[in-house]
Amino acid sequence: MIPLVKDALVYANCVTMMSIGFTLVYLISRIPNFAQSTFAVVGVYCTFSMVRIFEINPYMAMPLGFILGALLALLVYLGIVNTLMKYGAGPILLTISLLAIQQIFLAGVNIYADYVRNVIGVYSRGFMLRANDFRVGEYPGVLLVSSFTVIVVIVGMHFMLTRTQFGIAMRATVENAPLASVLGINIKRVSIISWMITGGLAGLAGTFLPLWFSSGPGSGGMLSTSVFAASVVGGLTNIYGAILGGYVISLLEVWGSYLLMRTFGLWIGAYRMLIPLALMSIILMYEPGGIASIIEKLRAKFSGSKRVREEESI
């Protein structure tokens, strides 16, 4: 397997896990969750602590990252988002408050990194833990574990959304929250669980990052543009769109930048982040509904039926 595929797949797995969460929160609360990338940074430092401080297997960080991310998301939802919604704050105020939360959490992580460096004496920024990973033949462990995790997450999400009562309650809340609450669905519980899933997935995605990429407090920012782009390209209205968008964007980003580097020289690699941004802009200009609405239109066209799903008001 050529290294480029490994690179792209590990990255795509992380981005997809986060874009699923981003879309989920957007569907439930109608706000872009800018604090999400910080949950990933928390995951990054879970792995770091496991390897460098406690010196045990890096994969022990997975449950810890998931739980910490979920708890932080719970804190954010109950402490800020729910409180503000009760006071009648609109989406813009909520977005600003999420930016504030992002700044607070990031500062917290930075304090932890400083503390580790100054008190414990371990270098804590810009680390890469590839050497601590296991290998199966020519495949690095992180590739296998992250792919397996993504498959489990996707199958689990699909099963939850289509087979369980909770998933149906969730879909009802997304379609029409007031109506759902009239039918006896506890919207607050649905929101809390969605936020926790989001935080947990972001934390989980973060635990894989340092095993393949150079990481630090800035890793969240590195991922966030791709995650926004993936969610927007996926349509922001559909979990399956987010999965597709995650893979499309991150594979195009990694391979596109590789092709550009081969054509124009290595210097262009620094502008890699502009690829998802450009793709997102193009999609928004020509098809704001993203992949989800493209597929919907194609299906309507080929099945010959007149029924096109009503455009989501955006």
Partner 1 sequence: MIEDIFLKWCIDLFMFFLIYLIVTMNLNFMYGYTGIPHFGISLSVAGGGYVTGALTGRILRWVYNVYPELDFMYENSKITKEINAHLANDPFVGIGVFLLIIVISLLINAGLGYIVSRPAIRLSGSYLIIVLIGMAEAMRIIGMNYYPLVGGTFWVHVPDVFNWMGDFRTEGFLMICMLFTLATFLLLQAMSTSPLGRVVKAVRENPTSAECVGKDVVGIRTKVIVLCSALTSIAGVLYGFYIHAVLSTSYTRSAWTFYPWLMFMVGGIGNNMGAVLGTFIFTTLRRLIIFFKHDIEIFVPFQVQWLEQIMTGVMLLLIIIFRPRGLLPEKPTKMRGLDYDRFHNELEEKGVKVPERDARENILQRLLRRLKV
| Interface contacts to partner 1, rule CB under 8 A | 26, 30-32, 34, 80, 83-84, 87, 89, 91-93, 95-97, 99-101, 103-104, 106-108, 110-111, 114-115, 118-119, 221, 225, 228-229, 232, 236, 267, 270-271, 273-274, 277, 280-282, 284-285, 288, 314
We find the least distance from the C-beta atom of residue 105 to partner 1, in angstroms, to be 9
Contact 238, 289 (CB under 8 A): no
Question: How far apart are the C-alpha atoms of 37 and 206, rounded to whole Å?
Answer: 9
We find the least distance from the C-beta atom of residue 286 to partner 1, in angstroms, to be 10
By C-beta, is 93 or 260 nearer to partner 1?
Answer: 93
Backbone angles phi, psi at 176, to 5 degrees: -160, 100
By C-beta, is 204 or 236 nearer to partner 1?
Answer: 236
Q: Is 33 left (phi over 0), alpha (psi -120 to 50) or beta?
A: beta
Backbone angles phi, psi at 139, to 5 degrees: -95, 130
By C-beta, is 95 or 181 nearer to partner 1?
Answer: 95
Question: How far apart are the C-alpha atoms of 199 and 70, rounded to whole Å?
Answer: 4
We find the least distance from the C-beta atom of residue 10 to partner 1, in angstroms, to be 22
Partners of 136 in the β-ladder: 139
Question: How far apart are the C-alpha atoms of 261 and 273, rounded to whole Å?
Answer: 13
By C-beta, is 124 or 215 nearer to partner 1?
Answer: 124
We find the least distance from the C-beta atom of residue 150 to partner 1, in angstroms, to be 23
Q: How far is CA 25 from CA 77, 116, 196, 198, in A?
A: 10, 33, 10, 7
We find the least distance from the C-beta atom of residue 245 to partner 1, in angstroms, to be 13
Question: How far apart are the C-alpha atoms of 198 and 74, rounded to whole Å?
Answer: 10
We find the least distance from the C-beta atom of residue 198 to partner 1, in angstroms, to be 15
By C-beta, is 261 or 274 nearer to partner 1?
Answer: 274
By C-beta, is 159 or 271 nearer to partner 1?
Answer: 271
Helix ranges (DSSP H) in 209-289: 219-234, 239-264, 274-286
Question: How far apart are the C-alpha atoms of 108 and 103, rounded to whole Å?
Answer: 9
We find the least distance from the C-beta atom of residue 103 to partner 1, in angstroms, to be 4
We find the least distance from the C-beta atom of residue 280 to partner 1, in angstroms, to be 7
By C-beta, is 63 or 108 nearer to partner 1?
Answer: 108
By C-beta, is 232 or 244 nearer to partner 1?
Answer: 232
Give the type of residue at 223. L
Give the type of residue at 73. A
Nearest residue to 25 (alpha-carbon basis) of 198, 234, 159, 190: 198
